């Protein structure tokens, strides 16, 4: 038997070239090949099957891991099979079918998060829950250092200082509203410091005389003082979106942030959830926290989120409704608007702006074309709303933006406009 050496391992480009027939983005093929080659370095006997293993891994990513199962055990409320069955029966929510023993619901999303961020991840019911859980685990009984310019409030009165207090962590404010430098963080570190926290101000923007340290600088300080750096990223941008300037989750990880949390139902485009990803030991610690069970998500969210994450992995952005809307060009929207104008000539087509909304991308808009209706704006808006159509009033006209109208909803909208 020939003994293999590290020199016998094929190059990444060589394997990727042989995988041209696989329907997957090149970036995914490269990353998966690197993953398999890294594993082969530890077990040189499997080095000859790298291409085949990459193919299997890609196919495994396509398959749903949460699947329907037949429960013939006689246990009606079967914990491992999702307890009370839904309309579609039981599932392998917490059951490892291959090994015949209890599993973890994390397995259905964890490996997908790792493909997207390069780090393991867990899911809770929203990003506020993620912040609470992380701070409770990392800083309860100690201090968390945060810049004064990042003590934000989001919808419904949720404030960072309040959630920090609820987590058991003491807030240590540094810097000023508009300027915080690295020495401010350094001077604040004491024996009570447990974590350095960075909060992305996703729903507002400060301009002018401002300053804050780069993430890699904060990460270096955290390593120097043996502290974790945690970032509440909020919007959770995973994919490049034309016209949207938001920090990417992977950029934070690459800059050296130890834990990142973000929403699943904002720029990620999925279900309401809070995703925590980062260093394996910190993710494992956070998962073991007693609060995790209270904050975890149910099987319907896991199923939907897993499908969203897969579409992101395979760059099927137009299969995610929110991302398809954000990526839609103004020309596409104008072409749709002109078809409405042909049927209802009284409609005016005017230039306008769309926004991402949801407390994300402040001061950023996307160019669009609007259908405008002149007349008694209050009465027109009320009549449309009574029919389940939500529009807005702008410059004494009722305007409709087709960016957020699904194609299959156009006929119903057209009927309502004709009725006006």
- Per-residue pLDDT band for 286 (boundaries 50, 70, 90) equals very high
Q: Is residue 135 part of a domain?
A: yes
CA angle 194, 196, 200 (to 5 degrees): 145
Same domain, 149 and 289: yes
Q: What is the mean pLDDT of the chain?
A: 91
The residue segments making up the domain with residue 74 are 64-103
144 and 259 co-located in one domain: yes
Q: Are residues 56 and 88 in the same domain?
A: no
Q: Are residues 210 and 272 in the same domain?
A: yes
The 10s digit of each residue's pLDDT in 209-241 is 788 999 999 999 999 999 999 999 988 899 888
Same domain, 23 and 76: no
Which of 81-85, 162-166, 367-371 has the weakest average pLDDT? 162-166
Would you say residue 1 lies in a domain? no
**Contact by Cβ (8 Å): 27, 62:** no
Residue 86 shares a structural domain with residue 146 = no
Q: Is position 56 within any domain?
A: yes
Count structural domains, the chain.
4
The whole-angstrom separation of Cα 152 and Cα 204 is 9
CATH of the domain at 315: 3.40.640.10
Q: Does residue 109 sit within a domain?
A: no
133 and 249 belong to one structural domain: yes
334 with 272, same domain: the answer is no
* Residues 413 and 371 both lie in one domain: yes
In a domain, 125, yes or no: yes
The domain boundary residue, chosen from 285, 319, 353: 319
Residues 261 and 301 in one domain: yes
Asked whether residue 71 falls in the same domain as residue 148, the answer is no
- Residue 112 forms part of a structural domain: no
Does the structure show a pLDDT above 80 at 14?
yes
Rounded to an integer, what distance in angstroms lies between the CA atom of residue 99 and that of residue 27?
32
> Is there a single domain that holds both residue 75 and residue 160?
no
* Mean pLDDT for the stretch of residues 92-98: 94
Q: What is the pTM of this model?
A: 0.91
């Amino acid at each position: 038997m020939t003994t293999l050496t590290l020199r016998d391992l094929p190059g990444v480009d060589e394997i990727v070239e042989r995988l041209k027939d696989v329907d997957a983005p090149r970036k995914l093929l490269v990353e998966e090949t690197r993953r398999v080659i890294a594993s082969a370095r530890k077990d040189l006997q499997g080095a000859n099957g790298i291409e085949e293993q990459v193919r299997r891994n890609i196919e495994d990513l396509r398959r749903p891991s949460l699947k329907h199962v037949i429960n013939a055990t006689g246990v009606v409320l079967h914990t491992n099979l999702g307890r009370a069955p839904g309309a579609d029966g039981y599932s392998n929510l917490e059951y490892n079918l291959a090994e015949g023993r209890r599993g973890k619901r994390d397995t259905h999303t964890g490996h997908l998060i790792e493909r997207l961020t390069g780090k393991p991840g867990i899911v809770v019911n929203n990003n506020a829950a993620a912040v609470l859980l992380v701070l409770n685990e990392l800083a309860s009984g100690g201090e968390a250092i945060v810049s004064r310019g990042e003590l934000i409030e989001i919808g419904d009165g949720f404030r960072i200082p309040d959630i920090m207090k609820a987590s058991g962590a003491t807030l240590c404010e540094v810097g000023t509203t508009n300027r915080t430098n690295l020495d401010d963080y350094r001077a604040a570190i004491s024996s009570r410091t447990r974590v350095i926290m960075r909060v992305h101000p996703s729903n507002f923007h400060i301009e002018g005389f401002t300053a804050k340290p780069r993430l890699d600088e904060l990460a270096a300080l955290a390593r120097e003082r043996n502290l974790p750096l945690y970032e509440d990223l909020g919007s959770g941008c995973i994919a490049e979106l034309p016209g949207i300037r938001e920090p990417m989750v992977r950029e934070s990880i690459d800059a050296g942030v130890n834990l990142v949390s973000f929403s699943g139902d904002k720029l990620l485009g999925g279900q309401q959830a809070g995703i925590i990803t980062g260093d394996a030991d910190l993710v494992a610690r956070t998962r073991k926290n007693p609060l995790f069970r209270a904050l975890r998500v149910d099987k319907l969210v896991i199923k939907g989120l897993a499908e969203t994450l897969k579409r992101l992995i395979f760059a099927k952005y137009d299969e995610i409704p929110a991302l398809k809307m954000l990526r839609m060009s103004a020309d596409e929207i104008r072409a749709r608007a002109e078809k409405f104008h042909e049927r209802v000539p009284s409609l005016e087509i005017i230039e306008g702006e769309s926004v991402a909304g949801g407390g994300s991308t402040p001061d950023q808009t996307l160019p669009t074309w609007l259908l405008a209706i002149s007349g008694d704006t209050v009465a027109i808006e009320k009549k449309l709303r009574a029919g389940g159509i939500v529009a807005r009033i702008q410059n004494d006209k009722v305007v409709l933006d087709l960016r957020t109208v699904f194609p299959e909803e156009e006929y119903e909208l057209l009927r309502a406009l004709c009725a006006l």
